[in-house]
């Protein structure tokens, strides 16, 4: 507002931004990274280390506009009705999948394993790993898997994110943040790599989620060409748009670029009739549609603007779509979004960073929303106090129950769900 005023109020403005930023889920990542960094190498280099931190402007629907149309869940149903299960048994279960017999869930963990639930008698068992470099000694960090202690080992151990069974073959397909696209047979074991590079030879740096077409092709996201998973908050802070939607074709074993230049492409979901797919763009807080067939084939539609940062999108059996959203955008954070220079300044103020430590009591919470294919909101459930869920990665609706994953905590949330009669 008053960019021409003196230095003091300018700093105050920045400071207010910083305060508001850390009330945001990304803030935690930034803060822990920054704090960790400061203890190693205080002021010599930028906090992004080997990467040049280059914030860019990105156009997203205004905060006000989005919030005006966003229905609030006044009863906080996710908080009051949600239940935590498997506490400290699963570490960062990001994607939840069930096999053709309805067994599961199967889920990928922060320690690099894919595990499956075998019922109360047996509990969780290891189903697959994405690399033979996985060892219990190097990778098995237990409940600490979701902390920074795992970061150094992620590259070696793998970090399985999106999971999908191929209904035709019973094979489990895996998008791993370090090992690309892989698959493993119905008996599990060590997964086999399918795609680590695109057809032009560019590496797949950060595979994130996938879905499988009935013709065998696999659509999957590669979140960034510049930052890997451990550094993912810099993708958000920069606003960089080097992510891609890719397609792996089994007959040729080649991976084609479907869409380039996306800002943190994340979840992928094909429609039931396979005429389109939906994907989320996390940095831009939106749900998008890519047409595979029909008059608009090859084009992208904007489906919905969201109040926060979406992760995976999953269809229910009615052809509706659950989107997991880490909340929420704030008006001041939008100022940062629209002013890359402010983000640059933020990272060059070591003094501010030391102050950040005092504001660790930040708020972050979860919103899950159900959409129809045109972006009409059918359901919104929130947990504004973070009573059950703080960070959410995926919502799977199976037989009247929602299974909710999280990339950063050691549990799965569940909720019995009876859809409202629509009017």
Ligand X SMILES: *[C@@H]1O[C@H](CO)[C@@H](O)[C@H](O)[C@H]1NC(C)=O
Cβ proximity of 141 and 410 under 8 Å: no
User: Pattern of binders to ligand X over 253-282, x per CB under 6 A?
Assistant: x-----------------------------
Least distance (Å) between residue 249 CB and ligand X: 5
Nearer to ligand X, 194 or 257 (CB): 194
Kindly determine how many residues on this chain lie close enough to bind ligand X according to the rule CB under 6 A: 17
Cβ proximity of 409 and 390 under 8 Å: yes
Nearer to ligand X, 213 or 363 (CB): 213
298 binds ligand X (CB under 6 A): no
166 binds ligand X (CB under 6 A): no
69 binds ligand X (CB under 6 A): no
169 binds ligand X (CB under 6 A): no
Name the nearest CA neighbour of 168 among 99, 90, 84.
Answer: 99
Least distance (Å) between residue 256 CB and ligand X: 8
Q: How many Å is the Cα radius of gyration of the chain?
A: 21
Least distance (Å) between residue 113 CB and ligand X: 21
Nearer to ligand X, 98 or 371 (CB): 371
Nearer to ligand X, 200 or 251 (CB): 251
Q: Which of 292, 345, 388, 391 binds ligand X (CB under 6 A)?
A: 292
Instruction: Measure CA of the first residue to CA of the last residue in the chain; give whole Å.
Output: 44
68 binds ligand X (CB under 6 A): no
Cβ proximity of 146 and 93 under 8 Å: no
Q: Which of 81, 99, 144, 249 binds ligand X (CB under 6 A)?
A: 249
The stretch among 50-58, 70-78, 81-89, 126-134 that binds ligand X (CB under 6 A) is 70-78
Nearer to ligand X, 21 or 304 (CB): 304
Q: Among residue numbers 192 through 231, which ones bind ligand X (CB under 6 A)? A: 193-197, 213, 215-217
Least distance (Å) between residue 292 CB and ligand X: 4
Residues in contact with ligand X by CB under 6 A are: 71-72, 74, 193-197, 213, 215-217, 247, 249, 251, 253, 292
């Amino acid at each position: 507002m008053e960019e021409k005023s003196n230095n003091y109020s300018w700093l105050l403005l920045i400071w207010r931004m910083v305060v508001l930023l850390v009330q945001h889920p990304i803030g935690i990542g930034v803060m822990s990274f920054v704090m960790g960094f400061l203890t190693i190498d205080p002021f010599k280099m930028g906090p992004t280390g080997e990467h040049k931190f280059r914030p860019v402007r990105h156009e997203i629907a205004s905060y006000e506009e989005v919030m005006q149309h966003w229905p609030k869940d006044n009863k906080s149903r996710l908080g009051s009705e949600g239940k935590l299960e498997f506490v400290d048994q699963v570490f960062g279960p990001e994607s939840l999948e069930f096999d053709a017999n309805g067994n599961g869930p199967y889920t990928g963990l922060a320690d690099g394993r894919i595990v499956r639930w075998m019922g109360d008698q047996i509990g969780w068992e290891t189903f697959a790993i994405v690399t033979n470099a996985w060892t219990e000694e190097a990778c098995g960090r237990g409940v600490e898997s979701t902390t920074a202690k795992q970061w150094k080992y992620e590259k070696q151990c793998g970090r399985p994110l999106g999971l999908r069974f191929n209904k035709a073959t019973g094979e489990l397909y895996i998008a791993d943040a370090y090992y690309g696209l892989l698959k493993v047979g119905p008996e599990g074991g060590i997964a086999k790599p399918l795609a680590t590079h695109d057809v032009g030879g560019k590496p797949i740096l950060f595979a994130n989620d996938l879905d499988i077409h009935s013709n065998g092709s696999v659509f999957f996201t590669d979140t960034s060409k510049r930052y890997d998973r451990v550094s993912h908050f810099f993708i958000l802070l920069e606003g960089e748009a080097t992510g891609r939607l890719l397609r792996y074709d089994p007959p040729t074993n080649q991976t084609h670029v479907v869409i380039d230049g996306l800002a943190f492409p994340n979840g992928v979901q094909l429609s039931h009739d396979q005429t389109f797919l939906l994907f989320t763009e996390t940095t831009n807080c939106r749900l998008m549609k890519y047409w595979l067939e029909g008059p608009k084939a090859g084009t992208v539609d904007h489906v919905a603007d969201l109040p926060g940062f979406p992760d995976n999108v999953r269809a229910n059996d009615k052809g509706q779509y659950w989107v997991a959203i880490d909340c929420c955008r704030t008006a001041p954070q939008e100022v940062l979004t629209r002013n890359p220079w402010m983000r640059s300044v933020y990272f060059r103020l070591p003094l501010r960073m030391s102050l950040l430590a005092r504001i660790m009591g930040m708020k972050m919470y979860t919103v899950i929303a159900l959409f129809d294919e045109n972006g009409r909101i059918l359901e919104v459930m929130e947990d504004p106090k973070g009573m059950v869920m703080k960070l959410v990665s995926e919502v799977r609706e199976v037989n009247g129950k929602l299974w909710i994953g999280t990339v950063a905590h050691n549990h799965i949330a569940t909720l019995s769900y009876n859809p409202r009669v629509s009017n």
